[in-house]
Structure 1
Amino acid sequence: MSDPYAKGMLRVHPYAKKKDVVGELVAILEGKLENRGLQLIKPISRALAEDEIHEIIVTDEFEAGPGKQVDRIAYLGFFEVKGGGVIVTGDPVFLKGKLLGHIAGFDETHMPNHINIVIKSDERQSGVSIGAEIGQQLLIKSPD
């Protein structure tokens, strides 16, 4: 069986419509690395089930995307999925109603424990530096 993303068969994602994914922060992280070496997988989407916990990592690397390596990162936190769904590269991510950035891709270093969801942003800030708090809503929107 072959992966259509790895083979370059899909030039644009096939998700015509999808629901927003809502979560709640359960851990706030502090720290930045210049040489993390995250390897983003080629698939552009991940399905998130209700009650799963995943990590949010922020990068300011403009070229970050599926199949790329990401080195400059800041740790934001972990969130619990409150309403499952599908998330796709390019989806905007909001915390407390404020845009954090857009999904660059996914790293599976810690699977099956959790997925690292890497967000591309102009500012590489940790959860502590942006004042994130336990219980705050994280929203991954479906682009309109």
Structure 2
Amino acid sequence: MIEDGPKRPVHSRVVKVLVHRRDDRGMRLEPFTSRCVRRGEVHELVTTDHPATAERIDRVGFLGFVEIDDAGVVDRGDEVWVDGEMIGTVLGFDACHHPNHYNILISTPSPRTGPEVGMHPERTVRFVQAPGVAARGPLSAVGVAR
């Protein structure tokens, strides 16, 4: 069964750069593989090397906060691009600060901070459907509700 059709990229702009990391953050992935985002919402971007199956996300690098340019859907597996450079893929969402904002967790080989990926205020950050996802069907995350 194919669940994922094509979608437009979600564009956003950096409003605040974060420069720190933690090894004891204790985030937890929401059981949902996608989240709708609205124009004007602000969300936090966090990198990690933990897998999607981790019970706790402790090793993290904080990139910063972005403001969503236009409404859209961010999915687990979306590529994350900062000014034309792919920095990782969406691992999932932590809602410890919701409804203020989501932490959008990004899978990277090691946790990275805002300056390490070239984040600056007003830089463009895009969430782009990975090539072939619409043709492949649902992402194969075990035990994850849509």
Question: How has the CA–CA distance of structure 1 residues 68 and 27 changed in structure 2, closer, same or farther, with 3 Å as cutoff?
Answer: same
Question: How has the CA–CA distance of structure 1 residues 17 and 73 changed in structure 2, closer, same or farther, with 3 Å as cutoff?
Answer: same
**Does residue 1:77 correspond to 2:80, yes or no?**
no
**Does residue 1:117 correspond to 2:117, yes or no?**
no
Contact 1:64 1:70 in 2 (8 A): no
Instruction: State which drifts further: 14-23 or 40-49.
Output: 14-23
Other structure's SS at 1:87 match:
strand
Instruction: State which drifts further: 120-129 or 39-48.
Output: 120-129
1:142 maps to what in 2? Answer: 129
Other structure's SS at 2:4 match:
coil
- Runs of 4 or more off by more than 2 Å in structure 1? 128-131
**Does residue 1:58 correspond to 2:15, yes or no?**
no
The Cα offsets for residues 23-42 of structure 1, whole Å up to 9 and x where unpaired, read as 00000001110111101111
User: 1 or 2, which has the higher strand percentage?
Assistant: 1
Q: How many residues align?
A: 131
Q: Which has the higher contact order (CA 8 A, sep 6+)?
A: 2
**Does residue 1:132 correspond to 2:92, yes or no?**
no
**Among 15, 32, 38, which residue is 2:21 paired with?**
32
Q: CA deviation at 1:19?
A: 1.1
Q: CA deviation at 1:125?
A: 1.1
* Contiguous gaps of at least 5 residues in structure 1: 1-11
Contact 2:87 2:117 in 1 (8 A): no
Question: How has the CA–CA distance of structure 1 residues 41 and 13 changed in structure 2, closer, same or farther, with 3 Å as cutoff?
Answer: farther
* Contiguous gaps of at least 5 residues in structure 2: 132-146
Q: CA deviation at 1:58?
A: 0.3
Q: CA deviation at 1:13?
A: 7.3
**Among 44, 48, 59, which residue is 2:33 paired with?**
44
User: Aligned partners of 2:43, 2:62: CA distance in 1, in Å?
Assistant: 12
User: 1 or 2, which has the higher helix percentage?
Assistant: 2
Under a length normalisation based on structure 2, what TM-score does the superposition of the two structures give? 0.84
User: Aligned partners of 2:2, 2:102: CA distance in 1, in Å?
Assistant: 20
Q: Percent identity?
A: 31
User: Aligned partners of 1:90, 1:68: CA distance in 2, in Å?
Assistant: 18
Question: How has the CA–CA distance of structure 1 residues 13 and 101 changed in structure 2, closer, same or farther, with 3 Å as cutoff?
Answer: farther
